[in-house]
Amino acid sequence: MSAPVFRELGGIFQLHIATAEDLERIETLDKARWAATSAPVDAFLCDKAFLDYLDADKNGRIRLIEVREARRWLWARLRSRAAVERKSDALDLADLDPSCADTAPLTALAKHLLKLLGSDKATRIDLGQVRHFRAEYVKRFPNGDGIVTPEQIEDAAVKAAAEAVIGTVGGAPDLSGAVGVRSADVDAYVERVRAFVAWKASVTGSDAATILPLGDDTAGAAALVAELAPKLDQFFAQCALLALEAGAADRLAATPEQLAAIDVSDPAAIEAWLTRAPVARPVASAVLDLDGPLNTHYAASLRRLGAEVAPKLLGRDGPTTKLDPASWKALQAKVAPFQAWSAGRPAGIAADADGAALLAVVDGPAPDALRALAAKDQGVADDLVQFTNLEKLILYQRWLLEFANNFVSFPRLFSDDDLALFQKGTLIMDGRKMQLVLGVNDRGAHKKIAETSLFFLAYLDLVRKDGAAEVKDSVVAAVTNGVRGGIAVGKRGVFYDRDDVEWDAIVTDVSVQPISLWEAMIAPFLRVRDMIADRFTKLIESQAASAEGNLGAAADGAAATATPPPPAPAPAPAETGGGMQTMLIGGSIAFAALASAGAFVVNVVAGIDPLDALLAIVGIIVVVMAIFGVLGWLKLRRRDLSTMLEAGGWALNGRMRITQYMAEVLTQRPGLPDGAVRRRDAKRSRAGWLVVVVLVLVGAAAAVWWYDSSLFTALLPAPAAEAPAAPVPEVAPAG
């Protein structure tokens, strides 16, 4: 065996798995050298049956030991592994190892299927052929699952018995998809029928009068008492409270706030309120007047209780119009034996079912016939096992090597040839193709972990039409190259899955990080730009609001001058037209302030050497870009693919970084096709030309200033000459 090869992928050395010999090395590869040790089944986008076979313990995760077991199982049945390297979904029968006991029935089944296809001389069978015959096989009887459906039974009596079993105990799903019965279901049905017959027979002798005080009418009476029990118990409890505490009346009545919450125009809202309300207003005497005002939701049932049920159960003549707590408890006690007896009825069989007819079925030949059919079906279970093993063998041959390159090692993730099995597809958005797209089940939990990967992440909701149905999904895309551009919440794009099916995509959340070195370097300037734009916008808005207020005040002042109020004294002359005057004065002051500020700036700038100023500005820009560039580079080189996968439920052994080359592969901005002709036919807008003219003038002014700044100072107004000081008169000395 040749020496193993380890490739550096994402900053760690991973086993190179290109041949069957490489795949065999996973048996001895140290567990800590595996790229992943476990992962969710739904993270992989390949044949679902293959993943189901691989997940041996059916816990929804594929573990390291399960991958090893799959390799061993496959190696034990193949003597040639060339098809494993080809990733072939066709099994060459000559590749089966005759020394393995399992391969003889597999070979016999494969030859039988090929014979049915009319290919007696064929020596290979593919996955499609196996699946076609397996799908047909499970529809027939027997199919090996030990379940027989009514549709598979010809005898009418036995078929009726099977339907009775399913209706009573539920049955089990057959491989064909229909519900059928097993031997255990037949046994459960027989036991339940006998329990039902014994239950009905328990109402005999003196017990009958206690359990059925009204004979056949007992069930209806008991049902009415059970229906009213919660509300009558509530009513009598509230009456007891009111009798003890007179102040409880206010608590028991509906408050104005509660009544105000009812939509009186909605019958359903009113009915819902009545359902929760008491059957009648509680009274301290604790007597319910069945002829008095009652809650309309319960009134009919209450009056039927007083007219039909209470007199018979309590042995009274005439209808009961007053119901007190003692009478209510007596009614409940009368029906309690029936309710207890009813609760003991075996489930699945109606209370009025004919016990004798049921006994005739379970004591007849039908149960044994059903058991025999189930046993016959179970007798060919080995055929079903061989179908399963044949499909499993071909799937392992086709997918195991490729799966190892998406679990033991991750070369696919670092290749521009194709997508890894866990990359869901390609997102087209903002003029870019993004291929590092993973599935997301819980966005909140995923983001808490994934945002530490230092990738710029866009979470998206996907939707597409599948016939009349709407299919939805959620993914996260890592933007690894370029700048953020227009990628923000609400941004729309399209997504193409691995089958090239198109989905509508919309960004629902983002995790912002530097995407490229250039973006990191210009980030502070973009923030300054945004801050200035925001401040300038707020300033303009505030000035506009102030101007509107001044104009409004001026208009009010003019209106007041034109039409003075009759009884009020005339306004003082100084206030007439004051709004307009104030606005003009304020505008003059503002203009003067701006002019003064402009002159100050020009004077200051005129005293600075242009070259020194330019070099200072360039130096500041370079230093800022260098600092933020270094910080951004440190972040970019720490972008971690492992964290993104771990956020989706993976267990990984190492940290995987991406190179700049991989960043450009995972997020691409396609260029123009080869040989394309570039043509600019669109004319610039006036605003665009104005910007160009302003920039040219500013550049020309800077050049002139650099050449001779005195030309600018000559344009400034000369400072006013100071008046000469008055001569001091000479004073003659005294004497």
Q: What is the pLDDT of residues 492-508, one digit of tens each?
A: 999 999 999 999 999 99
Is residue 229 a part of any domain in this protein?
yes
In this prediction, what percent of the chain has a pLDDT beyond 90? 53
- Are residues 371 and 239 located together in one domain of the fold? yes
- Are residues 194 and 339 located together in one domain of the fold? yes
- Are residues 131 and 168 located together in one domain of the fold? no
Least confident of 98-102, 222-226, 486-490, 616-620: 616-620
Q: What is the pLDDT of residues 513-546, one digit of tens each?
A: 888 777 767 667 767 766 777 777 777 777 767 7
- Are residues 333 and 293 located together in one domain of the fold? yes
- Are residues 371 and 396 located together in one domain of the fold? no
Residue 595 belongs to domain spanning: 520-563+575-622
Please tell me the number of Cα atoms within 13 Å of 137 on its side-chain side. 23
- More confident: 620 or 402: 402
- Are residues 132 and 255 located together in one domain of the fold? no
Q: Are 397 and 51 in contact (CB under 8 A)?
A: no
Q: What is the pLDDT of residues 113-143, one digit of tens each?
A: 888 888 777 889 999 999 988 888 888 888 8
pLDDT range class, residue 735, cuts 50, 70, 90: very low
In this prediction, what percent of the chain has a pLDDT beyond 70? 81
Q: What is the pLDDT of residues 208-229, one digit of tens each?
A: 888 888 888 999 999 999 999 9
Predicted local confidence at residue 586, as pLDDT:
47
Residues 6+ apart with CB under 8 A from 171: 147, 165, 179, 180, 181, 182, 185
Is residue 497 a part of any domain in this protein?
no
Give phi and psi for 464, each to the nearest 5: -150, 165
DSSP state of 333: H
Is residue 684 a part of any domain in this protein?
no
Other residues' Cβ atoms within 10 Å of the Cβ of residue 55: 16
Predicted local confidence at residue 530, as pLDDT:
67
Predicted local confidence at residue 115, as pLDDT:
87
Residue 564 has pLDDT above 60, yes or no: no
Residue 202 has pLDDT above 50, yes or no: yes
Residue 641 has pLDDT above 60, yes or no: yes
Is residue 235 a part of any domain in this protein?
yes
Q: What is the pLDDT of residues 56-79, one digit of tens each?
A: 999 999 999 999 999 999 999 999
Is residue 460 a part of any domain in this protein?
no
pLDDT range class, residue 35, cuts 50, 70, 90: very high
Is residue 236 a part of any domain in this protein?
yes
Least confident of 329-343, 375-389, 705-719: 705-719
Q: What pTM value is reported for the model? A: 0.66
- Are residues 189 and 127 located together in one domain of the fold? no
Burial class (CB in 10 A: 0-12, 13-18, 19+), 308: middle
Is residue 68 a part of any domain in this protein?
yes
Give phi and psi for 343, each to the nearest 5: -65, -25
pLDDT range class, residue 689, cuts 50, 70, 90: low
Predicted local confidence at residue 637, as pLDDT:
72
Domain boundary among 360, 393, 413: 413
- Are residues 175 and 265 located together in one domain of the fold? yes
Mean pLDDT of 451-470: 93
Residue 55 has pLDDT above 90, yes or no: yes
Residue 563 has pLDDT above 60, yes or no: no
**C-alpha triplet 624, 630, 632: angle, nearest 5°:** 100
Mean pLDDT of 584-593: 49
- Are residues 92 and 57 located together in one domain of the fold? yes
- More confident: 681 or 253: 253
- Are residues 224 and 264 located together in one domain of the fold? yes
Q: If DSSP codes are grouped into helix, strand and coil, which group holds residue 651?
A: strand
- Are residues 281 and 248 located together in one domain of the fold? yes
Is residue 208 a part of any domain in this protein?
yes
**444 residue type, one letter:** G
Residue 708 has pLDDT above 70, yes or no: no
- Are residues 167 and 71 located together in one domain of the fold? no
Our count of domains for the chain comes to 3
Residue 696 has pLDDT above 50, yes or no: yes
